[in-house]
Amino acid sequence: MVSIKDISKLTGYSVTTVSRALNNHHDVSEETKKKIQNMAKKMGYSPNILAQSLVSKKSNTFGFITSNFSSTSVLDSYSFKLFMLCVGVANEFGYEVVLIHADAHMHRLKNFSQIISERNLSGAIIQGFNTDDPICDEARESDVPTVFIDIEEYSDTTTYVTSNIKGAVEIGFSYLLSKGHKNVGFIQGAHQSRITKRWVGEVNEYLEQHSESFDEVLFLEGGYKLERTKDIVSNFYQSHKDDHPTALFIVSDVMAIGAMEALRDLGISVPKEVSILGYDGINFSAHLNPALTTIGQDYLGIAQSALQALLTLMKGHPVAPLILDVHLIERETVGQRND
């Protein structure tokens, strides 16, 4: 039986390039595809029939595909928490969900269709990818029922579930203003992240409408990393000792923890000198000292909506995008500014 390795040896292309060319992957040039596909035809190559047959059969398994695990404890990872809730909801419907961590290395070897076919998945939930990750485009253009979380991709066979970022921006800045904070630092995630672009867009729109309410709003990037945020906040407050934000609005509780650690190490009191407002509502945020004031997402609602949408898509019915409300969780890290 002719294998991909045989074609690789005869054409001089790597096994990965041959595989992607035979699967008509977009990042292989048309000239290279033609050479490889002609050689495959000449040698009588045929793909794994068993794998193809599995795709045509119904399974009770979905894939939760993400590239976004936190560098902190996996139990406090936004992605892992969503995955576990999806597992529980899926089990209630008689389905299973498998976790697939599709990092850059994996995607160089396999495209979306291969990930689905190799595991005989009936659908997918996709979360945590950047704007330059092709897997989202591949999923949208395929006929595999797919629900995106916090990624605004939509077609006849896909939809998305997201929290109300516009609402979170309004809640967060309005709350800080009510506490007297007019000099605010906004710490966003990784600039290439799809969800970060939504945050920045909503913040800019809000500030345009409320420009007279603030003295200054400074943008910093924490990259969704605790240590990175800690370093950025530490460096910034050391170099701006006499003129710095009195409050930080941070789009991740994990990053907020990094900011709190940085301020603590500098001897800056939270919330007496600097207030911290997070976002996510992870369990650990309630057990910090001081306990983190944050904007909570409806994790269970996201999981339930994603699974229900996926089941509807499997029946051939389109599903409109779903936007879920967020809510303020007032604890101890935002203080009143009286000056």
Q: What is the pLDDT of residue 107?
A: 63
- Residue for token digits 């659908």? 123
Check residue 48 and give left, alpha or beta (phi > 0: left; psi -120 to 50: alpha).
beta
Does residue 50 form part of some domain? no
* Position 219 pLDDT exceeds 80: yes
Band of the pLDDT at 174, cuts 50, 70, 90? very high
Q: What is the pLDDT of residue 149?
A: 95
260, 334 contact by CB (below 8 A) = no
Q: Please compute the mean of the pLDDT values over residues 5-23 and round it to a whole number.
A: 87
Q: What is the pLDDT of residue 50?
A: 40
Does residue 334 form part of some domain? no
314, 277 contact by CB (below 8 A) = no
Determine whether 212 is exposed, middle or buried from the number of CB atoms within 10 Å of its CB (0-12, 13-18, 19+): exposed
Q: What is the mean pLDDT of the chain?
A: 89
Pair (233, 188) in one structural domain = yes
Instruction: Give the whole-number percent of the chain exceeding pLDDT 90.
Output: 64
Q: What is the pLDDT of residue 57?
A: 56
Pair (303, 274) in one structural domain = no
- Residue for token digits 């969704």? 224
> Residue 192, SS3?
coil
Pair (140, 38) in one structural domain = no
CATH number at residue 85: 3.40.50.2300
Q: What is the pLDDT of residue 16?
A: 83
Does residue 189 form part of some domain? yes
Does residue 48 form part of some domain? no
Does residue 151 form part of some domain? yes
Strand partners for 123: 62
Q: Please compute the mean of the pLDDT values over residues 29-51 and round it to a whole number.
A: 78
Pair (153, 233) in one structural domain = no
Q: Please compute the mean of the pLDDT values over residues 184-213 and round it to a whole number.
A: 94
Pair (158, 110) in one structural domain = yes
Pair (158, 200) in one structural domain = no
How does DSSP classify residue 241?
Answer: S
Rounded to whole angstroms, how far apart are CA atoms 149 and 146?
Answer: 10
Q: What is the pLDDT of residue 48?
A: 53
Does residue 337 form part of some domain? no
Q: Where are the beta strands (DSSP E) in 103-246?
A: 123-127, 146-149, 158-163, 183-188, 216-221
Q: What is the pTM of this model?
A: 0.79
The per-residue pLDDT for range 120-168, each reduced to its tens digit, is 899 999 998 876 788 899 999 999 999 999 999 999 999 999 999 999 9
* Position 28 pLDDT exceeds 60: yes
Pair (76, 9) in one structural domain = no
Pair (110, 8) in one structural domain = no
Burial code (b: 16+ CB inside 10 Å, e: under 16) for 222-257 equals bbbbbebbbebbbebbeeeeeebbbbbbbbbbbbbb
Q: How many domains does the chain have?
A: 3
Pair (153, 261) in one structural domain = no
More confident of the two residues 21 and 269: 269
- Which tokens go with 16? 């990965």
* Position 171 pLDDT exceeds 70: yes
Pair (244, 285) in one structural domain = yes
Say how many C-beta atoms besides its own lie within 10 A of residue 205's C-beta.
12
Phi, psi angles (nearest 5°) of residue 160: -140, 155
Does residue 79 form part of some domain? yes
Q: Please compute the mean of the pLDDT values over residues 86-107 and round it to a whole number.
A: 86
* Position 105 pLDDT exceeds 70: no
Q: What is the span of the domain harbouring residue 77?
A: 59-163+299-326
More confident of the two residues 192 and 89: 89
Does residue 219 form part of some domain? yes
Pair (159, 169) in one structural domain = no
184, 176 contact by CB (below 8 A) = yes
Pair (204, 274) in one structural domain = yes
Rounded to whole angstroms, how far apart are CA atoms 274 and 121?
Answer: 48
More confident of the two residues 111 and 47: 111
More confident of the two residues 306 and 101: 306
Band of the pLDDT at 239, cuts 50, 70, 90? very high
